[in-house]
Amino acid sequence: MSTYLNRIAEAEERAREIEGQLANPAIAKEAGSYQKLAKLLGNLRPVLEAGDRYRALIGELHDSRAMTEDADPELADLARSDVERLEGEIDSVERELADLLTPKDPNDEKNAIFEIRAGTGGDEAALFAADLFRMYSRYAENVGWKIEVLSSSETAGGGFKEIIAMIVGEAVFSRFKHERGVHRVQRVPTTESQGRIHTSTVTVAVMPEAEEVDIAVSPGDLRIDVMRASGPGGQSVNTTDSAVRVTHIPTGLVVQCQDEKSQHKNKAKAMLVLRSRLLELERQRTADERASQRRAQVGTGERSEKIRTYNFPQSRVTDHRAGVTFHKLDSILEGDLCELLDAVKTRVTAREDADREGA
């Protein structure tokens, strides 16, 4: 009980500190800083409200326990009933507080940027990259989220060497962040005359959308090149210098966008992807500091592990982290992902909780 009271007191102190900062006229003039502080305060509100209820219940419990010693038997019986009820309500609020006080990923509420790339398997991998993009798009459409393609590189057969897209909605990153890693497909390609099963891979990276307030990028750290778009283009896409390549000199990160006819729009999309990649680098650095034995970010451990296998002959999808298998491949590829995403989240969250307790 004292542990929760101490944590509530810490949250109240932090809230007062933030309120003081928000009252500072200098902070009020900085839209980005003010917005971040207001969001932090908003995140603390549920803890403060639960804390008020918790203290009130503890006070009532203290009074009711004292009344169990009353000389009047009826009053004492009523007090004992109140003690039992209040203890149950306190247990319920403690469970609520435990959830509220568990460290949350500050990026969970953000939109998500997907980078889906064909891995081993040539044209078959490119086709499966298109299948995965369609799978995520269908799921997003089913829950009312929007999809915007930022950049793509198509193959002649209708697949994708690479496609980068942003999904916009409520807490998208929280829902999709465990999808990053190597996705393996086992199926008979349409060009296979012997009926042999081929294995191909696709890598999926999922990053939170980074706004300018999240990552400050100095113009002096950028090299921006413009060129004509390449690949299968539409009307006039290949006839003007509309493609933009942005290089972040300190990290060597390179982003190129060419889907838009407007150089300005391509540059804006490239900067959006660049900021998100830089934010992901920062997330990775923080994760490595907290748990050097477990690298959970894109570009490190997860890329070297297959997280899921899609087996077409058996209509089977197996997630190797959650240890679950579903025999409904067709519906999953049509966007029926709820059960699968829930199973993965439960398993990964439990592992992260165990890591925190062991740290």
For 208-219, the pLDDT digits (tens) are: 988 766 677 888
Cβ neighbors of 228 (< 8 A, separation 6 or more) are 238, 239, 240, 241, 242, 243
| Residue 349 banded pLDDT, cuts 50, 70, 90 | confident
pLDDT at 293: 36
Whether 313 shows a pLDDT value over 90: the answer reads yes
What is the rounded average pLDDT of the residues 51-77? 93
pLDDT at 231: 61
Continuous segment of H or E residues that includes residue 130: helix 123-142
What is the rounded average pLDDT of the residues 116-127? 93
Whether 175 shows a pLDDT value over 90: the answer reads yes
| Residue 304 banded pLDDT, cuts 50, 70, 90 | very low
Please tell me the CATH code under which domain 115-359 is placed: 3.30.70.1660
Summarised one tens digit per residue, pLDDT across range 245-255 is 999 999 999 99
What is the rounded average pLDDT of the residues 336-350? 89
Tokens standing for 290?
Answer: 């907290």
Query: Residue ranges of the alpha helices (H) in 199-328?
Result: 263-290
Whether 237 shows a pLDDT value over 70: the answer reads no
| Residue 303 banded pLDDT, cuts 50, 70, 90 | very low
pTM of this structure: 0.65
Cβ neighbors of 270 (< 8 A, separation 6 or more) are 151, 244, 245, 246, 255, 256, 257
Q: Write down the domain spans for the chain.
A: 2-101, 115-359
pLDDT at 252: 92
| Residue % of the chain over a pLDDT of 70 | 87
Classify strands 316-319 and 306-311 as parallel, antiparallel or unpaired. Answer: antiparallel
| Residue 85 banded pLDDT, cuts 50, 70, 90 | very high
pLDDT at 113: 94
3-class secondary structure, 139: helix
Q: Please, are residues 102 and 301 in contact by the beta-carbon 8 Å criterion?
A: no
As a whole number, the mean pLDDT across the chain is: 86
pLDDT at 297: 38
Whether 75 shows a pLDDT value over 50: the answer reads yes
pLDDT at 295: 39
pLDDT at 32: 74
The matching CATH number, chosen from 2.40.160, 1.20.58, 1.10.287, 3.40.190, for 2-101 is: 1.20.58
